[in-house]
Chain A
Protein backbone atom coordinates (compact mmCIF):
# COMPACT_ATOMS: atom_id res chain seq x y z
CA UNK A 1 0.00 0.00 0.00
CA UNK A 2 2.83 2.39 -0.83
CA UNK A 3 1.05 4.40 -3.52
CA UNK A 4 -1.78 6.19 -1.72
CA UNK A 5 -3.97 8.41 -3.85
CA UNK A 6 -4.22 12.07 -2.90
CA UNK A 7 -7.75 11.57 -1.59
CA UNK A 8 -6.79 8.54 0.51
CA UNK A 9 -3.78 10.39 1.93
CA UNK A 10 -6.01 13.36 2.82
CA UNK A 11 -8.64 11.14 4.45
CA UNK A 12 -6.04 9.22 6.45
CA UNK A 13 -4.36 12.47 7.52
CA UNK A 14 -7.71 13.88 8.67
CA UNK A 15 -8.58 10.68 10.52
CA UNK A 16 -5.13 10.57 12.13
CA UNK A 17 -5.50 14.21 13.18
CA UNK A 18 -8.88 13.48 14.77
CA UNK A 19 -7.47 10.50 16.68
CA UNK A 20 -4.57 12.67 17.85
CA UNK A 21 -6.86 15.45 19.07
CA UNK A 22 -9.19 12.95 20.71
CA UNK A 23 -6.53 11.93 23.22
CA UNK A 24 -6.62 15.21 25.17
CA UNK A 25 -8.52 18.09 23.60
CA UNK A 26 -11.60 17.06 21.59
CA UNK A 27 -13.86 15.02 21.67
CA UNK A 28 -12.28 12.36 23.95
CA UNK A 29 -14.66 9.77 22.50
CA UNK A 30 -12.33 6.71 22.46
CA UNK A 31 -11.20 7.50 18.89
CA UNK A 32 -7.56 7.77 20.00
CA UNK A 33 -7.48 4.12 21.10
CA UNK A 34 -5.30 2.10 18.69
CA UNK A 35 -8.06 -0.41 17.89
CA UNK A 36 -10.51 2.33 16.88
CA UNK A 37 -7.86 4.38 15.05
CA UNK A 38 -6.63 1.33 13.12
CA UNK A 39 -10.16 0.12 12.31
CA UNK A 40 -10.92 3.55 10.82
CA UNK A 41 -7.68 3.47 8.82
CA UNK A 42 -8.58 -0.02 7.59
CA UNK A 43 -11.96 1.23 6.38
CA UNK A 44 -10.35 4.15 4.51
CA UNK A 45 -7.75 1.85 2.93
CA UNK A 46 -10.28 -0.87 2.12
CA UNK A 47 -8.29 -3.35 4.24
CA UNK A 48 -10.29 -3.75 7.45
CA UNK A 49 -8.68 -7.08 8.35
CA UNK A 50 -5.18 -5.57 8.54
CA UNK A 51 -6.53 -2.57 10.43
CA UNK A 52 -8.05 -4.82 13.07
CA UNK A 53 -4.90 -6.98 13.40
CA UNK A 54 -2.67 -3.93 13.91
CA UNK A 55 -5.25 -2.39 16.26
CA UNK A 56 -5.58 -5.46 18.50
CA UNK A 57 -1.80 -5.82 18.76
CA UNK A 58 -1.28 -2.14 19.65
CA UNK A 59 -4.12 -2.27 22.19
CA UNK A 60 -2.11 -4.81 24.18
CA UNK A 61 0.50 -2.08 24.70
CA UNK A 62 -2.03 0.73 25.20
CA UNK A 63 -4.01 -1.11 27.89
CA UNK A 64 -1.12 -0.31 30.24
CA UNK A 65 -1.58 3.46 29.84
CA UNK A 66 -3.89 5.72 31.86
CA UNK A 67 -4.04 9.21 30.27
CA UNK A 68 -4.09 10.89 33.67
CA UNK A 69 -3.85 14.70 33.87
CA UNK A 70 -0.33 16.07 33.81
CA UNK A 71 1.44 12.72 33.45
CA UNK A 72 3.41 11.81 30.33
CA UNK A 73 1.78 9.29 28.05
CA UNK A 74 2.23 8.18 24.44
CA UNK A 75 -0.06 9.40 21.68
CA UNK A 76 -0.93 6.26 19.74
CA UNK A 77 -3.52 7.56 17.24
CA UNK A 78 -1.55 9.08 14.31
CA UNK A 79 1.17 6.41 14.40
CA UNK A 80 -1.42 3.63 14.59
CA UNK A 81 -3.17 4.98 11.48
CA UNK A 82 0.13 5.07 9.57
CA UNK A 83 1.09 1.60 10.85
CA UNK A 84 -1.96 0.17 9.04
CA UNK A 85 -0.62 1.69 5.80
CA UNK A 86 2.74 0.03 6.49
CA UNK A 87 1.24 -3.40 7.21
CA UNK A 88 -1.38 -3.30 4.47
CA UNK A 89 -1.02 -4.99 1.10
CA UNK A 90 1.37 -7.71 2.19
CA UNK A 91 1.44 -10.86 4.33
CA UNK A 92 0.35 -9.53 7.74
CA UNK A 93 2.14 -12.31 9.61
CA UNK A 94 5.48 -10.95 8.35
CA UNK A 95 4.70 -7.23 8.62
CA UNK A 96 2.65 -6.93 11.82
CA UNK A 97 5.63 -6.83 14.19
CA UNK A 98 7.44 -4.19 12.12
CA UNK A 99 4.24 -2.12 11.95
CA UNK A 100 3.95 -2.32 15.75
CA UNK A 101 7.57 -1.14 16.15
CA UNK A 102 6.83 1.77 13.81
CA UNK A 103 3.64 2.72 15.72
CA UNK A 104 5.32 2.51 19.14
CA UNK A 105 8.15 4.81 17.98
CA UNK A 106 5.65 7.34 16.68
CA UNK A 107 3.61 7.08 19.90
CA UNK A 108 6.70 8.26 21.78
CA UNK A 109 7.16 11.18 19.35
CA UNK A 110 3.45 11.98 19.79
CA UNK A 111 3.93 12.03 23.57
CA UNK A 112 6.80 14.52 23.21
CA UNK A 113 4.65 16.71 20.96
CA UNK A 114 1.97 16.80 23.68
CA UNK A 115 4.50 18.26 26.12
CA UNK A 116 5.46 20.85 23.51
CA UNK A 117 1.86 21.94 22.89
CA UNK A 118 1.27 22.28 26.64
CA UNK A 119 4.26 24.59 26.90
CA UNK A 120 2.99 26.63 23.93
CA UNK A 121 -0.40 26.96 25.65
CA UNK A 122 1.37 28.09 28.83
CA UNK A 123 3.22 30.85 26.95
CA UNK A 124 -0.04 32.02 25.35
CA UNK A 125 -1.62 32.25 28.78
CA UNK A 126 1.27 34.32 30.11
CA UNK A 127 0.86 36.70 27.16
CA UNK A 128 -2.88 37.00 27.87
CA UNK A 129 -2.42 37.62 31.61
CA UNK A 130 -4.04 41.08 31.53
CA UNK A 131 -7.20 39.82 29.80
CA UNK A 132 -7.47 36.87 32.17
CA UNK A 133 -7.02 39.12 35.20
CA UNK A 134 -9.91 41.26 33.91
CA UNK A 135 -12.09 38.19 33.30
CA UNK A 136 -12.51 39.13 29.63
CA UNK A 137 -14.63 36.38 27.96
CA UNK A 138 -13.04 37.23 24.58
CA UNK A 139 -9.58 36.51 25.95
CA UNK A 140 -10.71 33.19 27.42
CA UNK A 141 -12.47 32.15 24.18
CA UNK A 142 -9.41 33.17 22.14
CA UNK A 143 -7.07 31.08 24.29
CA UNK A 144 -9.41 28.11 23.99
CA UNK A 145 -9.61 28.45 20.19
CA UNK A 146 -5.85 28.79 19.83
CA UNK A 147 -5.31 25.77 22.10
CA UNK A 148 -7.60 23.64 19.96
CA UNK A 149 -6.04 24.94 16.75
CA UNK A 150 -2.57 24.18 18.10
CA UNK A 151 -3.53 20.60 18.86
CA UNK A 152 -5.12 20.24 15.43
CA UNK A 153 -1.88 21.43 13.79
CA UNK A 154 0.17 19.11 16.03
CA UNK A 155 -2.00 16.08 15.26
CA UNK A 156 -2.28 16.81 11.54
CA UNK A 157 1.47 17.38 11.20
CA UNK A 158 2.22 14.17 13.08
CA UNK A 159 -0.27 12.20 10.97
CA UNK A 160 0.99 13.54 7.66
CA UNK A 161 4.64 12.93 8.62
CA UNK A 162 3.83 9.39 9.82
CA UNK A 163 1.96 8.61 6.60
CA UNK A 164 4.80 9.92 4.43
CA UNK A 165 7.27 7.81 6.41
CA UNK A 166 5.05 4.72 6.11
CA UNK A 167 4.79 5.24 2.35
CA UNK A 168 8.55 5.60 2.06
CA UNK A 169 9.26 2.49 4.15
CA UNK A 170 6.60 0.24 2.61
CA UNK A 171 8.51 -0.68 -0.58
CA UNK A 172 11.66 -1.61 1.37
CA UNK A 173 9.95 -3.67 4.08
CA UNK A 174 11.87 -6.92 4.62
CA UNK A 175 9.91 -10.08 3.92
CA UNK A 176 10.17 -13.80 4.45
CA UNK A 177 8.98 -16.35 6.99
CA UNK A 178 11.65 -15.39 9.55
CA UNK A 179 9.98 -11.98 9.98
CA UNK A 180 6.93 -13.79 11.38
CA UNK A 181 9.13 -14.24 14.47
CA UNK A 182 9.24 -10.43 14.82
CA UNK A 183 5.45 -10.48 14.90
CA UNK A 184 5.56 -13.25 17.50
CA UNK A 185 7.96 -11.19 19.64
CA UNK A 186 5.63 -8.19 19.29
CA UNK A 187 2.69 -10.30 20.49
CA UNK A 188 4.73 -11.57 23.45
CA UNK A 189 5.82 -8.03 24.33
CA UNK A 190 2.23 -6.81 24.02
CA UNK A 191 0.91 -9.54 26.31
CA UNK A 192 3.67 -8.73 28.82
CA UNK A 193 2.70 -5.04 28.67
CA UNK A 194 -1.01 -5.76 29.09
CA UNK A 195 -0.41 -8.29 31.87
CA UNK A 196 2.02 -6.01 33.70
CA UNK A 197 -0.42 -3.10 33.52
CA UNK A 198 -3.38 -5.24 34.58
CA UNK A 199 -1.51 -6.72 37.56
CA UNK A 200 -0.32 -3.26 38.64
CA UNK A 201 -3.84 -1.82 38.35
CA UNK A 202 -5.35 -4.78 40.20
CA UNK A 203 -3.18 -4.39 43.31
CA UNK A 204 -3.83 -7.13 45.87
CA UNK A 205 -7.58 -6.83 46.36
CA UNK A 206 -10.73 -8.15 44.72
CA UNK A 207 -9.72 -6.83 41.29
CA UNK A 208 -6.75 -9.21 41.25
CA UNK A 209 -9.10 -12.16 41.90
CA UNK A 210 -11.37 -11.05 39.05
CA UNK A 211 -8.34 -10.65 36.81
CA UNK A 212 -7.13 -14.17 37.63
CA UNK A 213 -10.62 -15.61 36.98
CA UNK A 214 -10.87 -13.75 33.66
CA UNK A 215 -7.40 -14.84 32.59
CA UNK A 216 -8.18 -18.45 33.47
CA UNK A 217 -11.38 -18.44 31.41
CA UNK A 218 -9.61 -16.62 28.58
CA UNK A 219 -6.79 -19.19 28.51
CA UNK A 220 -9.25 -22.10 28.47
CA UNK A 221 -11.26 -20.45 25.69
CA UNK A 222 -8.07 -19.80 23.70
CA UNK A 223 -6.99 -23.44 24.00
CA UNK A 224 -10.43 -24.81 23.12
CA UNK A 225 -11.07 -22.58 20.07
Chain B
Protein backbone atom coordinates (compact mmCIF):
# COMPACT_ATOMS: atom_id res chain seq x y z
CA UNK B 1 0.00 0.00 0.00
CA UNK B 2 2.84 2.39 0.84
CA UNK B 3 4.47 1.89 -2.57
CA UNK B 4 1.60 3.71 -4.23
CA UNK B 5 1.57 6.64 -1.80
CA UNK B 6 3.45 9.11 -4.01
CA UNK B 7 1.54 8.14 -7.15
CA UNK B 8 -1.75 8.54 -5.30
CA UNK B 9 -0.62 11.91 -3.96
CA UNK B 10 0.27 13.06 -7.50
CA UNK B 11 -3.07 11.87 -8.86
CA UNK B 12 -4.89 13.73 -6.10
CA UNK B 13 -3.54 16.96 -7.64
CA UNK B 14 -6.00 16.35 -10.48
CA UNK B 15 -8.78 14.73 -8.45
CA UNK B 16 -11.32 17.03 -10.17
CA UNK B 17 -9.95 16.14 -13.63
CA UNK B 18 -13.18 14.49 -14.80
CA UNK B 19 -15.59 16.52 -12.63
CA UNK B 20 -19.22 15.96 -13.65
CA UNK B 21 -22.72 16.24 -12.21
CA UNK B 22 -23.24 12.43 -11.98
CA UNK B 23 -20.27 11.37 -9.83
CA UNK B 24 -18.61 14.73 -9.17
CA UNK B 25 -15.01 13.84 -8.18
CA UNK B 26 -15.74 10.10 -8.07
CA UNK B 27 -13.69 9.24 -11.16
CA UNK B 28 -10.71 11.25 -9.89
CA UNK B 29 -10.92 9.44 -6.56
CA UNK B 30 -11.01 6.08 -8.35
CA UNK B 31 -7.97 7.07 -10.41
CA UNK B 32 -6.05 8.14 -7.29
CA UNK B 33 -7.07 4.99 -5.38
CA UNK B 34 -5.72 2.59 -8.00
CA UNK B 35 -2.01 2.72 -6.96
CA UNK B 36 -2.97 2.24 -3.31
CA UNK B 37 -5.17 -0.75 -4.11
CA UNK B 38 -2.51 -2.59 -6.14
CA UNK B 39 -1.38 -4.81 -3.25
CA UNK B 40 -4.97 -5.95 -2.78
CA UNK B 41 -5.04 -7.22 -6.36
CA UNK B 42 -2.66 -10.11 -5.62
CA UNK B 43 -3.81 -10.70 -2.03
CA UNK B 44 -7.57 -10.78 -2.68
CA UNK B 45 -8.58 -10.31 -6.36
CA UNK B 46 -12.33 -10.49 -5.65
CA UNK B 47 -12.10 -7.82 -2.96
CA UNK B 48 -9.92 -5.69 -5.29
CA UNK B 49 -12.58 -5.76 -7.99
CA UNK B 50 -15.26 -4.69 -5.49
CA UNK B 51 -13.00 -1.97 -4.10
CA UNK B 52 -12.28 -0.62 -7.60
CA UNK B 53 -16.01 -0.29 -8.30
CA UNK B 54 -16.58 1.53 -5.01
CA UNK B 55 -13.55 3.78 -5.47
CA UNK B 56 -15.06 5.58 -8.49
CA UNK B 57 -18.58 6.03 -7.10
CA UNK B 58 -20.08 9.45 -6.33
CA UNK B 59 -17.88 11.61 -4.14
CA UNK B 60 -17.31 15.29 -3.53
CA UNK B 61 -15.19 17.20 -1.05
CA UNK B 62 -12.68 19.99 -1.00
CA UNK B 63 -9.97 18.80 -3.45
CA UNK B 64 -7.06 19.43 -1.07
CA UNK B 65 -8.67 17.29 1.65
CA UNK B 66 -9.79 14.46 -0.63
CA UNK B 67 -6.73 12.50 0.58
CA UNK B 68 -8.32 12.10 4.01
CA UNK B 69 -11.26 10.26 2.47
CA UNK B 70 -9.11 8.39 -0.06
CA UNK B 71 -6.75 7.08 2.62
CA UNK B 72 -9.56 6.15 4.97
CA UNK B 73 -11.55 4.31 2.29
CA UNK B 74 -8.51 2.40 1.00
CA UNK B 75 -7.51 1.43 4.54
CA UNK B 76 -11.06 0.22 5.16
CA UNK B 77 -10.82 -2.00 2.06
CA UNK B 78 -7.60 -3.58 3.39
CA UNK B 79 -9.22 -3.99 6.82
CA UNK B 80 -12.04 -5.93 5.07
CA UNK B 81 -14.71 -3.59 6.40
CA UNK B 82 -18.08 -4.62 4.81
CA UNK B 83 -18.77 -2.88 1.49
CA UNK B 84 -22.03 -1.13 2.52
CA UNK B 85 -20.23 0.33 5.56
CA UNK B 86 -17.47 1.70 3.29
CA UNK B 87 -20.08 3.30 1.03
CA UNK B 88 -21.71 4.91 4.09
CA UNK B 89 -18.33 6.21 5.25
CA UNK B 90 -17.75 7.67 1.78
CA UNK B 91 -21.10 9.46 1.86
CA UNK B 92 -20.58 10.64 5.44
CA UNK B 93 -17.23 12.28 4.64
CA UNK B 94 -18.54 14.36 1.72
CA UNK B 95 -20.09 17.30 3.56
CA UNK B 96 -17.60 17.73 6.46
CA UNK B 97 -14.54 17.59 4.19
CA UNK B 98 -16.16 20.03 1.78
CA UNK B 99 -17.14 22.46 4.53
CA UNK B 100 -13.79 22.29 6.36
CA UNK B 101 -11.77 22.75 3.18
CA UNK B 102 -13.93 25.58 1.93
CA UNK B 103 -13.62 27.40 5.26
CA UNK B 104 -9.89 26.83 5.64
CA UNK B 105 -8.65 27.24 2.06
CA UNK B 106 -11.24 29.04 -0.08
CA UNK B 107 -12.52 31.45 2.59
CA UNK B 108 -9.32 31.68 4.67
CA UNK B 109 -5.94 30.88 3.15
CA UNK B 110 -6.68 31.98 -0.44
CA UNK B 111 -8.00 35.48 0.40
CA UNK B 112 -5.13 35.88 2.89
CA UNK B 113 -2.54 34.88 0.27
CA UNK B 114 -4.06 37.14 -2.37
CA UNK B 115 -4.41 40.02 0.09
CA UNK B 116 -0.74 39.70 1.04
CA UNK B 117 0.21 39.54 -2.64
CA UNK B 118 -1.77 42.72 -3.33
CA UNK B 119 -0.09 44.51 -0.42
CA UNK B 120 3.35 43.39 -1.61
CA UNK B 121 2.68 44.60 -5.15
CA UNK B 122 1.34 47.93 -3.89
CA UNK B 123 4.44 48.30 -1.69
CA UNK B 124 6.63 47.89 -4.78
CA UNK B 125 7.91 44.33 -4.32
CA UNK B 126 6.27 43.21 -7.60
CA UNK B 127 7.14 39.77 -8.84
CA UNK B 128 9.04 38.85 -5.65
CA UNK B 129 5.76 39.03 -3.75
CA UNK B 130 4.04 36.81 -6.30
CA UNK B 131 6.86 34.24 -6.11
CA UNK B 132 6.90 34.15 -2.29
CA UNK B 133 3.11 33.88 -2.03
CA UNK B 134 3.03 31.06 -4.60
CA UNK B 135 5.79 29.18 -2.75
CA UNK B 136 4.17 29.55 0.67
CA UNK B 137 0.67 28.71 -0.55
CA UNK B 138 1.73 25.63 -2.47
CA UNK B 139 4.01 24.52 0.36
CA UNK B 140 1.00 24.59 2.68
CA UNK B 141 -1.19 22.90 0.10
CA UNK B 142 1.31 20.04 -0.47
CA UNK B 143 1.96 19.60 3.26
CA UNK B 144 -1.81 19.43 3.85
CA UNK B 145 -2.18 16.88 1.05
CA UNK B 146 0.55 14.64 2.52
CA UNK B 147 -0.91 14.95 6.02
CA UNK B 148 -4.42 14.21 4.72
CA UNK B 149 -3.47 11.04 2.87
CA UNK B 150 -1.28 9.78 5.74
CA UNK B 151 -3.98 10.49 8.33
CA UNK B 152 -6.62 8.78 6.22
CA UNK B 153 -4.48 5.68 5.68
CA UNK B 154 -3.62 5.49 9.37
CA UNK B 155 -7.20 5.98 10.61
CA UNK B 156 -9.39 4.00 8.24
CA UNK B 157 -13.00 3.96 9.42
CA UNK B 158 -12.04 6.10 12.46
CA UNK B 159 -11.04 9.03 10.24
CA UNK B 160 -13.87 11.21 11.58
CA UNK B 161 -12.36 11.09 15.07
CA UNK B 162 -8.87 11.73 13.65
CA UNK B 163 -10.12 14.85 11.81
CA UNK B 164 -11.96 16.11 14.88
CA UNK B 165 -8.84 15.79 17.04
CA UNK B 166 -6.52 17.31 14.41
CA UNK B 167 -5.38 20.90 13.83
CA UNK B 168 -7.87 21.36 10.98
CA UNK B 169 -11.15 22.45 12.66
CA UNK B 170 -9.39 25.06 14.80
CA UNK B 171 -7.31 26.31 11.87
CA UNK B 172 -10.45 26.62 9.73
CA UNK B 173 -11.98 28.98 12.30
CA UNK B 174 -8.82 31.08 12.71
CA UNK B 175 -8.09 31.30 8.98
CA UNK B 176 -11.30 33.24 8.41
CA UNK B 177 -10.34 35.88 10.99
CA UNK B 178 -6.91 36.40 9.43
CA UNK B 179 -8.51 36.61 5.98
CA UNK B 180 -10.90 39.30 7.21
CA UNK B 181 -8.02 41.38 8.55
CA UNK B 182 -5.80 40.99 5.47
CA UNK B 183 -8.56 41.62 2.92
CA UNK B 184 -9.64 44.66 4.96
CA UNK B 185 -6.09 45.98 4.78
CA UNK B 186 -5.46 45.16 1.14
CA UNK B 187 -8.57 46.61 -0.53
CA UNK B 188 -8.09 50.31 0.44
CA UNK B 189 -4.38 50.08 -0.38
CA UNK B 190 -5.16 48.57 -3.79
CA UNK B 191 -7.74 51.27 -4.55
CA UNK B 192 -5.31 54.02 -3.52
CA UNK B 193 -2.56 52.51 -5.69
CA UNK B 194 -4.83 52.28 -8.74
CA UNK B 195 -6.26 55.79 -8.31
CA UNK B 196 -3.06 57.47 -7.14
CA UNK B 197 -1.98 59.25 -10.35
CA UNK B 198 -5.53 60.40 -11.12
CA UNK B 199 -7.24 63.54 -9.95
CA UNK B 200 -10.17 64.28 -7.66
CA UNK B 201 -12.69 63.66 -10.46
CA UNK B 202 -11.51 60.07 -10.73
CA UNK B 203 -11.73 59.59 -6.97
CA UNK B 204 -15.26 61.01 -7.09
CA UNK B 205 -16.30 58.61 -9.87
CA UNK B 206 -14.80 55.69 -7.93
CA UNK B 207 -16.62 56.65 -4.72
CA UNK B 208 -19.96 57.08 -6.52
CA UNK B 209 -19.51 53.66 -8.20
CA UNK B 210 -18.55 52.10 -4.87
CA UNK B 211 -21.66 53.47 -3.16
CA UNK B 212 -23.84 52.32 -6.08
CA UNK B 213 -22.31 48.85 -5.80
CA UNK B 214 -22.86 48.60 -2.06
CA UNK B 215 -26.42 49.86 -2.53
CA UNK B 216 -27.07 47.28 -5.26
CA UNK B 217 -25.64 44.51 -3.06
CA UNK B 218 -27.83 45.62 -0.15
CA UNK B 219 -31.01 45.83 -2.27
CA UNK B 220 -30.49 42.83 -4.57
CA UNK B 221 -28.38 40.48 -2.42
CA UNK B 222 -26.80 37.53 -4.25
CA UNK B 223 -28.74 38.34 -7.47
CA UNK B 224 -26.10 40.96 -8.29
CA UNK B 225 -22.71 39.26 -8.49
CA UNK B 226 -19.36 41.02 -8.57
CA UNK B 227 -18.97 40.26 -12.27
CA UNK B 228 -22.49 41.45 -13.18
CA UNK B 229 -22.05 44.71 -11.32
CA UNK B 230 -18.61 45.21 -12.83
CA UNK B 231 -19.91 44.66 -16.37
CA UNK B 232 -22.81 47.08 -15.84
CA UNK B 233 -20.81 49.81 -14.06
CA UNK B 234 -17.78 49.77 -16.38
CA UNK B 235 -19.99 49.43 -19.46
CA UNK B 236 -22.03 52.48 -18.43
CA UNK B 237 -18.87 54.45 -17.68
CA UNK B 238 -17.49 53.57 -21.11
CA UNK B 239 -20.66 54.73 -22.86
CA UNK B 240 -20.65 57.99 -20.85
CA UNK B 241 -16.94 58.58 -21.54
CA UNK B 242 -17.54 58.12 -25.25
CA UNK B 243 -20.29 60.74 -25.13
CA UNK B 244 -18.16 63.31 -23.32
CA UNK B 245 -16.80 66.16 -25.44
Interface residues of A (CB under 8 A from B): 24-30, 33, 35-36, 39, 43, 48, 52-53, 55-57, 59-70, 74, 93, 96-98, 100-101, 104-105, 107-108, 118-119, 121-122, 124-126, 132-137, 140-141, 143-144, 146-148, 151, 174, 178-198, 201-202, 206-219, 221-222, 225
| Residue pair B126, A187 in contact (C-beta under 8 Å) | no
Please name all residues of chain A whose beta carbon is closer than 8 Å to the beta carbon of B137 when the two chains form the complex.
Answer: 29-30
Partner of B14, one of A27, A52, A118: A27
A-B contact pairs, 20 of them (CB 8 A): A25-B17, A28-B13, A28-B63, A62-B226, A97-B238, A101-B230, A119-B21, A124-B18, A124-B20, A133-B53, A137-B52, A184-B237, A185-B237, A188-B212, A191-B188, A195-B210, A196-B217, A213-B181, A216-B184, A222-B189
| Residue pair A210, B177 in contact (C-beta under 8 Å) | yes
Least CB distance, A60 to chain B, in whole angstroms: 6
A-B contact sample (5 more), CB < 8 A, given A39-B127, A147-B20, A214-B184: A140-B56, A144-B27, A183-B202, A184-B209, A185-B234
Interface residues of B (CB under 8 A from A): 11, 13-14, 16-24, 27-28, 30-31, 34, 49-56, 60, 63-64, 98, 102, 106-107, 110-111, 113-115, 117-118, 121-122, 126-127, 130, 133-134, 137-138, 141, 176-195, 197-198, 201-203, 205-214, 216-217, 225-227, 229-231, 233-238, 240-242, 244
Partner of A140, one of B31, B127, B195: B31
Please name all residues of chain A whose beta carbon is closer than 8 Å to the beta carbon of B133 when the two chains form the complex.
Answer: 30
The distance in angstroms between the C-alpha atoms of A159 and B182, with both chains bound, is 31
Identity of the chain B residue whose Cβ is nearest the Cβ of A174 in the assembled complex: B242
**Contact of A118 with B20 at beta-carbon distance under 8 Å, contacts A182-B237, A189-B213 already known:** yes
Please name all residues of chain B whose beta carbon is closer than 8 Å to the beta carbon of A144 when the two chains form the complex.
Answer: 11, 14, 17-18, 27-28, 31
**Contact of A140 with B34 at beta-carbon distance under 8 Å, contacts A108-B227, A148-B17 already known:** yes
| Residue pair A135, B53 in contact (C-beta under 8 Å) | yes
Partner of B194, one of A43, A53, A107, A179: A53
Least CB distance, B91 to chain A, in whole angstroms: 15
| Residue pair A25, B234 in contact (C-beta under 8 Å) | no
Least CB distance, B3 to chain A, in whole angstroms: 16
**Contact of A33 with B114 at beta-carbon distance under 8 Å, contacts A61-B227, A134-B53, A185-B209 already known:** yes
Identity of the chain A residue whose Cβ is nearest the Cβ of B242 in the assembled complex: A174
Least CB distance, A178 to chain B, in whole angstroms: 5
Partner of A147, one of B17, B55, B63, B241: B17
The distance in angstroms between the C-alpha atoms of A134 and B46, with both chains bound, is 11
| Residue pair A122, B118 in contact (C-beta under 8 Å) | no
| Residue pair B184, A198 in contact (C-beta under 8 Å) | yes
Partner of A60, one of B31, B34, B187: B187
Please name all residues of chain B whose beta carbon is closer than 8 Å to the beta carbon of A43 when the two chains form the complex.
Answer: 127
Please name all residues of chain B whose beta carbon is closer than 8 Å to the beta carbon of A143 when the two chains form the complex.
Answer: 18, 27, 31
The distance in angstroms between the C-alpha atoms of A159 and B179, with both chains bound, is 31
